[in-house]
Structure 1
C-alpha cells in the first residue's frame, strides 16, 4: 500500500503537472491566460492520480506506469516547446 501511495505522490506529481501543462498549452490563446485555471486544476488532478495509483495490483506496476507516463508527458511538453508549436 505504501509503495502505491508513494507512486501516486512522487511520479504522480509530475504526471499531474504534465497533464495540466498540456491542457494549458493546447488551449487557444496565450498560456499566460490559463495559468490561474491551471493552478486551480492541478491539485484535483494530482489527487485523482494518487487515487488511480491504488488501482494497480502492485506498487512496482504503479511506479512503472506512472513514471513512464510522467516522462512521456514531460517529454511531450519539451518537444512542443522545442518545436515552437507553443509559446
Structure 2
C-alpha cells in the first residue's frame, strides 16, 4: 500500500505536468488563453493519478506503469516541441 502511495506521489506529479504541458503545446489556438485553465486542471489530474495507483495489484506494477506513462508523456512532449510550432 505504501509503495502505491509513493508511486502516485512521486511519479504522478511529473506525469500530470507532462500531460498538461502537452495539452498546452498542441492547443490549436493561442496557448496563452489556456495556460490558467490547464494550471487549474493540473491538481485534480494529479489527484486522479494518485487515486488510480490503488487500482494496481502491487506497488511494483504501479511504479512500472507510471514510469512507462511518464516516458511516453515526456516523449510526446519532446516530439510536439520539436515538430509542431508552439509558443
Question: Which runs of structure 1 show a deviation greater than 4 angstroms over 4 or more consecutive aligned residues?
Answer: none
- What is the number of residues matched between the two proteins? 86
Runs (5+) with no aligned partner, structure 1: none
In 1: Cα distance, 2:16 partner to 2:72 partner? 12
1:86 aligns with 2:85: yes
RMSD: 1.1
Q: Normalising by the residue count of structure 2, what TM-score does the alignment of the two structures yield? A: 0.91
Look up the match of 2:3: 3
Deviates more, 1:3-12 or 1:22-31: 22-31
1:36-75 pair list within 5 angstroms: 36-75=36-75
Runs (5+) with no aligned partner, structure 2: none
Conservation of the 8 A alpha-carbon contact between 2:22 and 2:80: no
1:86 to 1:56, Cα distance in 2 relative to 1, 3 A = farther
Q: In the TM superposition, what whole-angstrom CA distance separates every residue of 1:32-79 from its partner, at most 9, and x where no partner exists?
A: 221101110000000000000000000000000001101110111011
